[in-house]
């Protein structure tokens, strides 16, 4: 039984928004695929747009989730390799800065590649639904931008790494 002091604070608005967007993507994907399966196996015809819509929503859902996971420290990490550095805070802070700089660099590279793909898809339409093909790489660009900004802010603040996962096997 939890006391009022033990209850966690409500999730920030961006967490609730990202959770809602991911749930909406998943619900529409599941419904579209279910209806398509029923139509194909039950009636011998399907909805061609179902596959294209599901692919688009899946890409958006993955990048929304990746962006939402970063500030919570929920991306896969091998923090167990850094546990011996707990006794050397200056070295741990230097390693944290290197990790954050690598994240910023990786986000820059991902963002640049995604921007190139947005430009390529700008003048073309998807085959079935007819949406602008720039919508497919756009979540990668937005995710790279947001994660890169968060990592840069952590780098500039000198935020410590969260090594509170000692009991977990990583």
In this structure, the answer to whether residues 57 and 122 fall within a common structural domain is no
First to last CA, the chain: 30
80 and 130, same domain (yes or no): yes
- Let me know whether 42 and 95 are in one domain: no
- Residues 91, 148, single domain; the answer is yes
Question: Is the Cα torsion angle 70, 74, 76, 79 positive or negative in sign?
Answer: positive
Q: Are residues 20 and 40 in the same domain?
A: yes
Residue pair 77/103 in contact (Cβ under 8 Å)? The answer is no
- Say which residue, 83 or 169, is predicted with more confidence: 83
Statement to judge: residues 63 and 99 lie in one domain? no
pLDDT, mean over the chain: 85
**pLDDT bucket at 164, cuts 50 / 70 / 90:** low
126 and 88 together in one domain: yes
Whose tokens are 């033990």? That residue is 6
Which run of H or E residues covers position 111? helix 89-121
**E strand spans, the chain:** none
> Does residue 2 have a pLDDT over 70?
no
142: left (phi over 0), alpha (psi -120 to 50) or beta: alpha
Average pLDDT over residues 141-162: 91
Residues 92 and 130 both lie in one domain: yes
* Residue 111 pLDDT > 60: yes
Is the pLDDT at 37 greater than 80? The verdict is yes
Is the pLDDT at 165 greater than 80, yes or no?
Answer: no
Give yes or no: residues 120 and 89 share one domain. yes
Which pLDDT band, with edges at 50, 70 and 90, does 169 fall under?
A: very low
Could you tell me if 64 and 141 lie in one domain?
Answer: no
Domain that holds residue 30: 12-69
Tokens of 114: 């995604």
Taking the C-alpha atoms of residue 59 and residue 47, their distance in angstroms, rounded to an integer, is 20
Q: Where are the beta strands (DSSP E) in 29-142?
A: none
Q: Which domain-ending residue is among 20, 45, 69? A: 69
Number of H helices, E strands in the chain: 4, 0
Q: What is the pTM of this model?
A: 0.81
Whose CA is closest to 50, among 38, 67, 64?
A: 38
On whether residue 5 sits in a domain, the answer given is no
Report how many domains make up the chain.
2
Q: Is 6 inside a domain boundary?
A: no
**Which pairs count as long-range contacts for 20-28, CB under 8 Å and 24+ apart, including other chains?**
21/60, 21/61, 21/64, 22/61, 22/64, 22/65, 22/68, 25/57, 25/58, 25/60, 25/61, 25/64, 26/57, 26/61, 28/53, 28/57
Residues 166 and 138 in one domain: yes
């Amino acid at each position: 039984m939890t006391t009022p002091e033990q209850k966690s604070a409500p999730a920030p608005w961006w967490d609730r928004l990202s959770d809602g967007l991911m749930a909406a993507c998943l619900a529409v994907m599941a419904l579209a695929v279910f209806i398509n399966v029923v139509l194909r196996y039950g009636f011998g015809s399907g909805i061609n747009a179902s596959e294209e819509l599901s692919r688009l929503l899946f890409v958006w859902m993955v990048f929304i989730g990746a962006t939402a996971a970063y500030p919570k420290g929920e991306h896969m990490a091998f923090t167990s390799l850094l546990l011996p550095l707990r006794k050397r805070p200056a070295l741990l802070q230097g390693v944290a800065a290197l990790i954050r700089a690598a994240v910023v660099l990786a986000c820059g590279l991902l963002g640049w590649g995604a921007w190139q793909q947005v430009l390529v898809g700008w003048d073309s339409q998807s085959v079935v639904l007819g949406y602008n093909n720039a919508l497919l790489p756009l979540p990668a660009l937005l995710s790279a931008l947001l994660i890169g900004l968060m990592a840069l802010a952590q780098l500039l603040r000198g935020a410590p790494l969260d090594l509170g996962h000692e009991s977990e096997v990583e």
